[in-house]
């Protein structure tokens, strides 16, 4: 099956490629010649994932999936949430985003947080949603240099290290995106 992943993010693409089986040919937005940013105007992760998937499906009529991911921090009322990529500004600078979170969390005793991914899949016009969540804590300082985004300051529940200290295989087994992709893959297998 040929499937478009509606992203320009090479880190996300690599994570998904490592999880998908060989019966699915995965194409990125670059592969199909779509070089524009899709404006994420939704008020939550589900709306943004659907906006991206619908944009590509309506433009190209390709089977497609898109995701949106957010870091939800309890002490910040669920922020940065849907604004995770742009928390410190429109330039989507991961270092600035982490610095802003750490500054806001400086004196917070409650460090509980979760990463959430919502995947919107459109196959032959039918829409499906899949969600993955991983609970954890916000660290006081960044740790590790693997991964991307907020990975250096997020320690998943049940582990003593941050996402950025895990290799890709270990992270994919427990990550929010990995959990959502497992549901996506199970669905794709069921319809093939």
Could you give phi then psi for residue 126, rounded to 5 degrees?
-90, 135
Does residue 79 have an active-site annotation? no
Encoding tokens for residue 182?
């497992």
Q: Report the C-alpha gap between 185 and 192 in whole angstroms.
A: 11
Distance CA 119, CA 127 (A): 10
Crossing angle (nearest 10°) for helices 176-191 and 10-19? 50
Q: Which of 68, 74, 93, 107 is catalytic?
A: 68
Sign of CA dihedral 139, 67, 92, 30: positive
Residues annotated as catalytic (active site), given as ranges: 68
């Amino acid at each position: 099956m040929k499937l478009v992943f509606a992203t320009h993010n090479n880190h996300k693409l690599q994570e998904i490629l490592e999880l998908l089986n060989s019966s699915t040919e995965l194409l990125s937005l670059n592969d199909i010649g779509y070089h524009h940013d899709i404006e994420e105007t939704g008020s939550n992760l589900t709306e943004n994932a659907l906006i991206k998937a619908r944009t590509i499906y309506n433009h190209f009529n390709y089977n497609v999936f898109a995701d949106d991911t957010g870091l939800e921090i309890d002490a910040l009322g669920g922020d940065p949430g849907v604004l995770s990529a742009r928390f410190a500004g429109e330039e989507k600078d991961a270092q600035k985003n982490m610095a802003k979170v750490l500054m806001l969390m400086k004196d917070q005793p409650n460090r509980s947080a979760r990463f959430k991914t919502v995947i919107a899949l459109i196959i032959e016009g039918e829409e499906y949603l899949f969600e993955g969540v991983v609970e954890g804590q916000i660290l006081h300082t960044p740790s590790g240099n693997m991964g991307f985004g907020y990975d250096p300051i997020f320690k998943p529940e049940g582990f003593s290290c941050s996402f950025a200290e895990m290799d890709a295989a270990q992270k994919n087994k427990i990550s929010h995106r990995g959990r959502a992709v497992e549901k996506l893959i199970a669905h794709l297998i069921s319809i093939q």
